[in-house]
Amino acid sequence: MSTSAISSFEESLSTRGLPLTRTAAADAADELTALVEPPAIGTQLPYSGVSLPENVITELSPSVLESATVGITPAALAIADYGSVVIPDDGSGSEHVSLFADEHVAVVAASDVVASMSEAIGELGEQVRDGLTSAIVATGPSATADMGELVMGAHGPKVVEVVLVTDR
């Protein structure tokens, strides 16, 4: 973790107008509860002492995915220069959860914030060689300009929020 990478990540998010919530691990569940409007779905967060709020559905099915308004997933990395998060799926279903709901909440540990794309690709290269098969560098909501103007929320989420766990 580097303090300058974190402040640069926060600045990039702010430049893009993307909301950020900072929280300590102990308060993460409360922060998430306040943030999400049910029905919410989620995949397990791998940070010690951090769990999903109780009303978040983790038993996934196509109909649950279709009806959810919010999806919560962990992010493997955050890239400070771009305000991006990297969504991995190693069988958890995070790819679906981060894609089907109108709002995606990405939870990232401060120690996983890297400064540059170069560092991120370097790190991902190692993870891919270790067997990670699906990693999305996601920056803001899905968008299209194909209908003559910019519209947020094309096939993917309309809103993206980042929750930064400051002590993990």
Measured distance CA(9)–CA(164) in Å, rounded: 10
Residue 124 tokens, joined = 């991902």
Binding of residue 37 to another protein (CB under 8 A): no
Q: In this structure, how many other beta carbons lie within 10 angstroms of the beta carbon of residue 15? A: 9
Measured distance CA(141)–CA(29) in Å, rounded: 23
Q: Which is nearer to another protein, 160 or 165 (CB)?
A: 160
List binders of another protein among 104-163 (CB under 8 A). 117-118, 121-122, 124-125, 128-129, 131-151, 153-157
List binders of another protein among 50-89 (CB under 8 A). 60-63, 65, 82, 84, 89
Binding of residue 19 to another protein (CB under 8 A): no
Q: Which is nearer to another protein, 37 or 62 (CB)?
A: 62
Helix (H, G, I), strand (E, B) or coil at 86: strand
Q: Which is nearer to another protein, 17 or 145 (CB)?
A: 145
First-residue to last-residue Cα distance in the chain: 9
Q: Which is nearer to another protein, 3 or 63 (CB)?
A: 63
- Least distance to another protein, CB of residue 63, Å: 5
Measured distance CA(72)–CA(58) in Å, rounded: 10
